Amino acid sequence: MRLYTVIAALALLGLTGCAQNKYNWNGYDKGLYEAYKDPNQIVALQIKLQETVDALEKEKQVVPPGLYAELGTLYLQEGNVEKAKIYYAKERDAWPESKTLMNVLIKNLDNRKKVLEKSKS
Amino acid sequence: MKYILMCLSVVGLIGCANVQKKDMSAFTAAAPRSILVVPVANKTLDVDAPIFVLTTLPIPLANKGYYVFPVNTTKYILEQEGLYEGDRILSMPVPTLAKMFGADAILYVTINRWDAQYAFIATTVTVEFDYKLVSADGTVIWNENKKMVYSPQNNAGGGLGGLIAAAISAAITRAAPNYMPLAQSAHQQVFLMGPNQLPDGPYLTPAK
């Protein structure tokens, strides 16, 4: 019985060893879950993501894949196009796999701005 | 003592490496660097389950060494295109979707079970998922199914399952069953453990 306990404990150790986080997500999944559960929490998610990327940049650590872009989208949804573009560009520069999508998003935002300006003049 | 050590090392091996591998040739041929996680399809009556499950997918995949497209941004983009539901996204041609995002592979997850059965003494919570990873040309390169059941009566079983159940039990209450630890645990097991786990992605294997 004791043997069984020891094995189970070590296996669990092994599990946590494998499941270790490669990046510092700082509760991104939980924040997103809270925001989906209660839309009032979207602002909290945005603040949290901003704090996370600021802290990681300051410590010269890798910002996890997707985090810059998620922050950009939250800015876009509140109408802050310039900030959205800044974070989409950061995502593109940090993760080459995102280049196609981020360039399309940035280009679309530029085009949208041009159309708006034309309609004004 | 020798016997104990031997057992432990075997357990360690199973924990991290694979003993019997499934055929991964299609996966190896596609060698994806990036995974697009699209909104989850739902076969259950719980309308919130798909968005909740979506939040649990990026971290284990990124930890496995892949670039994972931002799930909320992906959801937002698809909604702008009029695609709100995972079931509709499933019927979209894979190459169109892959090209739109510049993704090497797309992960489709379907929720088959997400329910709590209330009994007199204990509540049994069940989640079940189908996972399908498809390369940009539409070839299925990996798939898996996982069902997780939590029932307080299982605790007597001991061993690894018992330990996991004990860890989960703290989060699950009779009044409001919390499915999230079960969902997370299911993903961990299919992506990171066992004979059919995902091969390591480019950010886990050293650059050649």
CB-based contact B56 A29, cutoff 8 Å: yes
Shortest distance, CA A83 to any CA of chain B (angstroms)? 15
Q: Name the residue among B31, B102, B39, B58 with its Cα closest to residue A23.
A: B58
Using the structure block, give the residue that is written with the tokens 């059941």. B149
- Write down the ipTM of this complex: 0.85
pLDDT at A109: 95
Option in B7, B51, B60 nearest A36 (CB) = B51
Alpha-carbon distance B203 to B193, whole Å? 18
Option in B48, B76, B104 nearest A73 (CB) = B76
Q: Find the chain A residues whose C-beta atoms sit closer than 8 A to any C-beta of B.
A: 3-4, 6-12, 14-15, 17-23, 25, 28-30, 32-33, 36-37, 64-67, 69-70, 72-74, 76-77, 91, 95, 97-101, 105
pLDDT at A96: 98
Please work out, in degrees rounded to the nearest 5, the angle formed at the alpha carbon of residue B198 by the alpha carbons of B196 and B204: 145
Question: At B124, which helix (H) or strand (E)?
Answer: strand B123-135
Work out the pLDDT band at B12, boundaries 50, 70, 90: very low
Alpha-carbon distance A107 to A101, whole Å? 10
Please work out, in degrees rounded to the nearest 5, the angle formed at the alpha carbon of residue A89 by the alpha carbons of B135 and A82: 130
Q: Mind listing the pLDDT tens digit for each residue in B44-72?
A: 999 999 999 999 999 999 999 999 999 99
Answer yes or no: is pLDDT of B194 > 90: no
* CATH 1.25.40 for domain A23-120: yes
DSSP H stretches of helix in chain A: 2-18, 28-37, 42-58, 67-77, 81-94, 99-120
Predicted TM-score of the model (pTM) = 0.82
Alpha-carbon distance B35 to B103, whole Å? 6
Mean pLDDT, range B125-143, rounded to an integer: 96
Q: Would you state the structure tokens that stand for residue B196, as one six-digit string?
A: 């059919």
- Residue to mutate among B73, B106, B179, B191, with most A CBs inside 10 A, is B73
pLDDT at A50: 98
How much is the mean pLDDT over chain B? 84
SS3 state at B128: strand
Handedness of CA A7, A10, A14, A19 (dihedral sign): positive
Q: For residue B116, what are the contacts with CB-CB under 8 A and spacing of at least 6?
A: B123, B124, B125, B126, B177
- Between B195 and A44, the higher pLDDT residue: A44
Mean pLDDT, range B95-118, rounded to an integer: 95
Answer yes or no: is pLDDT of A12 > 70: no
Contact list, B15 vs chain A (CB under 8 Å):
11, 14-15, 17-18
Alpha-carbon distance B38 to B51, whole Å? 11
Pairing mode, if any, of strands B105-118 and B34-37? parallel
Answer yes or no: is pLDDT of B21 > 80: no
Answer yes or no: is pLDDT of A94 > 80: yes
SS3 state at B41: strand
pLDDT at A116: 81
How many CB atoms are located within 10 Å of the residue B89 CB? 20
- Between A117 and B56, the higher pLDDT residue: B56
Work out the pLDDT band at A7, boundaries 50, 70, 90: low
All structural domains of chain B: 21-192 (3.40.50.10610)
How much is the mean pLDDT over chain A? 88
Question: At B48, which helix (H) or strand (E)?
Answer: none
- Give the CB-side neighbour count of residue B176, counting CA atoms within 13 A: 2
Alpha-carbon distance B138 to B97, whole Å? 10
pLDDT at B190: 95
pLDDT at B118: 73
pLDDT at A119: 81
Q: Which of A9-23, A93-107, B73-87, B125-139 has the lowest mean pLDDT?
A: A9-23
Q: For residue A54, what are the contacts with CB-CB under 8 A and spacing of at least 6?
A: none
Contact list, B204 vs chain A (CB under 8 Å):
22
- Between B188 and A120, the higher pLDDT residue: B188
Q: Would you state the structure tokens that stand for residue A18, as one six-digit string?
A: 């494998």
CB-based contact B52 A15, cutoff 8 Å: no
Integer angstrom CA distances of residue A111 from A92, A107, B105: 19, 6, 29
